[in-house]
């Protein structure tokens, strides 16, 4: 079923009309892409933690020790012909970075984690906003019998949005604490340089976590975030386990039919309000031998990852070392594509390449082992993937960088950078601050004045 509804003046306002329903999710192009996708009230959910998946649907709850990727595939079958809209139902949610430890045979250090490894809703209906055509459609797959029963109610809700109670503004209730602090970051940095010198790895990504207590509704912070740092793969996802507020600039994997595309980011410079200085910074990134070498390492890693599931001879580099401009930083971006082998699908593509190489290092498994050894926290959603996988088999996903995640009364932000042989400690530490600056400033702006 597909019904056209009014094109909204504000997509966030439209999202608020469904945000009181369970598990609301907003895949937000933030004015930089063609489509926004909104959904809520999934008819089934999957939540994985410590190797165990809880499956909830209309019949109740069950627990499974089966591979969560296989469980998700079963929830999406049978696949259907391609739909006229980019999404007409399917899975939306996140795959946490730590899910990749088991996938790649890496022993976990057992650090505490507040977030599940996988949180996925199976949605039967979605709202698709097309900013090119200036149209909006409510579309449903109708795998869930409940959809037909509530269809008129949904249309009424969306066609004449009611005023919802004002949400309590997000605010921090304590200071932001960084882990590791600068001196401990320096120790970890030195260990990575030692591993590189000894030939253990060529590059490893080292991150820092910023955490603070908060009160209020994170949605109000997200609305501010999308204005301050618009990004093409932004997302807001609310569920009983956490809130995800992402302003990601980085696509992980897109699958349309058999065509696969990935767009890794490696290389960063801050923006400047002075146009000449801003142009100089972008040019210095474009011409940097270090950043080009770092980017090329990840391109080679991803070519290898795609080669596991793509037809022989189809993987190629479409763009190399392109400079893209975002609200607070310039990034160096490359594009790799391929054609998925007929024996694979979106799930096996994701499983074979997860987590993305741009946020691990090279070689991937050794870099992940080093990250697990040196970072004093679980990454959780950070550096995992926010994804939508349709009942038609198509997929789009982002790397969850520039992402805030709230659980309990704590909100978390992570930022990191790839360390290579000629990296300098202070410069790498400053790069983390450049990446986190907009989000940290937004959080700090909510602290009550003395």
Contact at 8 Å (CB) between 226 and 28? yes
Bridge partners (DSSP) of residue 406 are 243, 411
Closest of 89, 386, 389 to residue 245, by C-alpha: 386
Contact at 8 Å (CB) between 298 and 320? no
Q: Is the peptide bond before 258 cis (omega within 30 degrees of 0)?
A: no
The residues assigned a catalytic role are: 250, 266
Bridge partners (DSSP) of residue 418 are 205
Contact at 8 Å (CB) between 338 and 181? no
315 φ, ψ (degrees, to nearest 5): -80, 125
Alpha carbons 410 and 137: distance in angstroms, whole number: 36
Number of other CB atoms surrounding residue 263 within 10 Å: 25
Contact at 8 Å (CB) between 30 and 232? yes
Alpha carbons 210 and 444: distance in angstroms, whole number: 11
């Amino acid at each position: 079923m597909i019904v056209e509804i009014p094109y909204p003046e504000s997509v966030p306002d439209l999202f608020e009309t469904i945000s009181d329903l369970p598990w609301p999710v907003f895949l937000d192009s933030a004015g930089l892409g063609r489509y926004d996708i909104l959904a809520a009230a999934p008819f089934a959910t999957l939540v994985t933690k410590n190797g165990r998946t809880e499956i909830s649907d209309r019949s109740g709850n069950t627990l499974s020790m089966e591979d969560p990727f296989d469980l998700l595939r079963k929830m999406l079958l049978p696949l259907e012909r391609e739909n006229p809209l980019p999404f007409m139902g399917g899975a939306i949610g996140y795959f946490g970075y730590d899910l990749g430890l088991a996938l790649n045979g890496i022993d976990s250090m057992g650090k505490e984690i507040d977030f599940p490894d996988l949180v996925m809703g199976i949605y039967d209906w979605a709202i698709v906003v097309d900013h090119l055509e200036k149209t909006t459609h409510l579309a449903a797959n109708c795998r869930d019998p409940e959809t037909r029963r509530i269809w008129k109610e949904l249309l009424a809700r969306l066609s004449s949005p009611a005023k919802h109670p004002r949400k309590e503004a997000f605010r921090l209730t304590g200071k932001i604490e960084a882990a590791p602090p600068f001196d401990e970051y320096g120790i970890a940095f030195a260990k990575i340089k030692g591993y590189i010198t000894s030939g253990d790895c060529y590059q490893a990504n080292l991150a820092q976590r910023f955490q603070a207590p908060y009160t209020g509704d994170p949605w109000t912070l997200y609305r501010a975030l999308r204005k301050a740092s618009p990004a093409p793969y932004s997302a807001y996802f609310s569920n009983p386990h956490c809130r995800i507020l992402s302003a990601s600039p980085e696509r992980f994997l897109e699958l349309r039919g058999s065509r696969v595309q990935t767009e890794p980011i490696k290389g960063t410079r801050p923006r400047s309000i002075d146009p000449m200085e801003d142009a100089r910074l972008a040019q210095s990134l474009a011409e940097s031998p270090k950043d080009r070498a770092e980017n090329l390492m990840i391109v080679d890693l991803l070519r290898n990852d795609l080669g596991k599931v793509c037809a022989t001879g189809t993987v190629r580099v479409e763009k190399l070392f392109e400079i893209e401009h975002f609200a607070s930083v310039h990034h160096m971006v490359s594009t790799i594509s391929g054609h998925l082998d007929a024996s694979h699908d979106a799930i096996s593509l994701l499983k074979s390449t997860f987590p993305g190489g741009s946020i691990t290092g090279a070689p991937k498994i050794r870099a992940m082992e080093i990250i697990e050894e040196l970072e004093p926290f679980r990454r959780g959603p950070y550096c995992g993937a926010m994804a939508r996988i349709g009942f038609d088999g198509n997929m789009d996903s982002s790397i969850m960088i520039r992402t805030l995640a709230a659980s309990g009364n704590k909100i978390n932000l992570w930022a990191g950078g790839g360390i290579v042989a000629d990296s300098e400690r202070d410069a790498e530490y400053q790069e983390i601050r450049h990446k986190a600056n907009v989000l940290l400033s937004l959080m700090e702006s909510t602290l009550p004045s003395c």
